[in-house]
Amino acid sequence: MRNKMTLGIKNYKDQLYICAKCGYCRVDCPIRKIKGFETSSPRAIFLLVKHYLDKKEGLPSELVEIIYQCTTCGLCREVCPTELDIPEIIRSLRMDIVKEQGKPIKGFIKATDNVLSKGNPLGRDRDERCDWVPDDIIIDKNSPNLFYVGCMYSYWEMHSAELTVRILNKINYSFKIMEEEPCCGMLECWDGEIEVAEEIARKNFEKFKAAGISTIITSCPGCYSTLKEAYPKLIGKEFKIIVLHISELLAQLIEEKKINFERENNITLTYHDPCHLGRYHGIYEAPRKIINALPGVKFIEMENIKEESNCCGGPLRTAFLDYAQEIGKNRALEIVNSGAKYVTTICPQCSISLRQAAALNELDFKVIDLIVLVAYALNLEEAEDYL
């Protein structure tokens, strides 16, 4: 018997009436901040949705657009005194929109077409997915550990994917990769296409089982969150694969003194918490443990960190690039204010957003994936090109 999909909140409409209209959620909401209109805040979205529910009318297209402009950063959830799971309510609203309209808003339709036809939302060729794999790497085809690369690392931040496998070799961690690695389906999990997400999850689970996978390691917080949190809900108890973010693995090995860093890097840097790693899974300390173990590195924190960290705008790049870039600029200015000339993070989407924000706004800092810094400290010469 198939398990029931449990993403989204069944009684979310009732929950809208719990909202105390206090407005805490609107203060730091990144999309409300850059648009400047109250209507973009969760409080206003809930009020407007209630209005149309009470009138038994469908949602107007302007409101549907606004519902899709939430980055799902989760900052509002941290401050809501009535403990509403605001991003999950947003997801539920999107699921109902897809149920009624048969599709999400325009920007997501192409992305899902690409996922289904090419295995990635970017529309890139399947044959190019493993172009980053170096010839001199040891891959153990019998390993139960899968390095799940993800679409963004496979096609955009390829140097980090390469350095990850070099690190895994250097620390003697056995792993394999899938030559035909499929997209995890994160977009479909969040854009309301939950039936498509379930289909993707089930197909992927069959592939993982056939490959004898018991542990998945990934560097991408989006893939991590999807595999770790969404898959057990979409597939059910049958999904027993251990899912680790690479920062958890590396931090643990550092603690056990199984990683010896050999090379100093005399830079001052700050760290940006990816929303779907930090707020969604509480992984705040593992990346900081790694940074603090890097020889020579002087680490300074930004003003807003951990639970209070601000979003890079990345999730909006699919359908609202202008807004994504404005949100990215706000976070980039916080990096400048920290005084650090380098920022590290461990998310391909965050790296791209912050790098672009620095370039578009002529801001003086460089973005380096934490994987590059680890590879450099481990004396891997290939890392030198990316510092």
Interacting residue ranges for ligand SF4, rule: CB under 6 A:
19-25, 29-31, 42-43, 70-76, 79-82, 84, 86-87
Q: CB-wise, 30 or 119, nearer to ligand SF4?
A: 30
Q: Over 326-376, what HEC string results?
A: HHHHHHHHHHHHHCCCEEEECCHHHHHHHHHHHHHCCCCCEEEEHHHHHHH
**Minimum distance, C-beta of residue 44 to ligand SF4, in the bound complex (Å):** 9
**Minimum distance, C-beta of residue 22 to ligand SF4, in the bound complex (Å):** 4
Q: CB-wise, 70 or 277, nearer to ligand SF4?
A: 70
**Minimum distance, C-beta of residue 256 to ligand SF4, in the bound complex (Å):** 36
Q: CB-wise, 88 or 195, nearer to ligand SF4?
A: 88
Phi, psi of 366 (to 5 degrees): -120, 140
**Minimum distance, C-beta of residue 369 to ligand SF4, in the bound complex (Å):** 24
Contact 112, 190 (CB under 8 A): no
DSSP strand E in the chain: where?
A: 145-148, 215-218, 242-245, 268-271, 298-299, 342-345, 366-369
Q: CB-wise, 71 or 143, nearer to ligand SF4?
A: 71
Give the other-Cβ count within 10 Å of 332's Cβ: 27
Q: CB-wise, 49 or 201, nearer to ligand SF4?
A: 49
Q: CB-wise, 71 or 112, nearer to ligand SF4?
A: 71
Q: Which amino acid is at 351?
A: S
Any residues with CB less than 8 A from the CB of 338 and at least 6 apart, and which? Answer: 270, 300, 301, 302, 303
Distance CA 302, CA 235 (A): 39
Assigned token pair, 142: 């019998």
Q: CB-wise, 36 or 81, nearer to ligand SF4?
A: 81
Q: Is 162 helix (H, G, I), strand (E, B) or coil?
A: helix
Q: CB-wise, 89 or 98, nearer to ligand SF4?
A: 89
Distance CA 194, CA 8 (A): 9
Q: In what order do the strands lie in the sheet with 268-271?
A: 298-299, 268-271, 342-345, 366-369
**Minimum distance, C-beta of residue 222 to ligand SF4, in the bound complex (Å):** 15
**Minimum distance, C-beta of residue 57 to ligand SF4, in the bound complex (Å):** 22
Distance CA 381, CA 363 (A): 28
Assigned token pair, 256: 């056990």
Distance CA 348, CA 352 (A): 6
Q: Is 107 helix (H, G, I), strand (E, B) or coil?
A: helix
**Minimum distance, C-beta of residue 64 to ligand SF4, in the bound complex (Å):** 15
Q: CB-wise, 63 or 149, nearer to ligand SF4?
A: 63
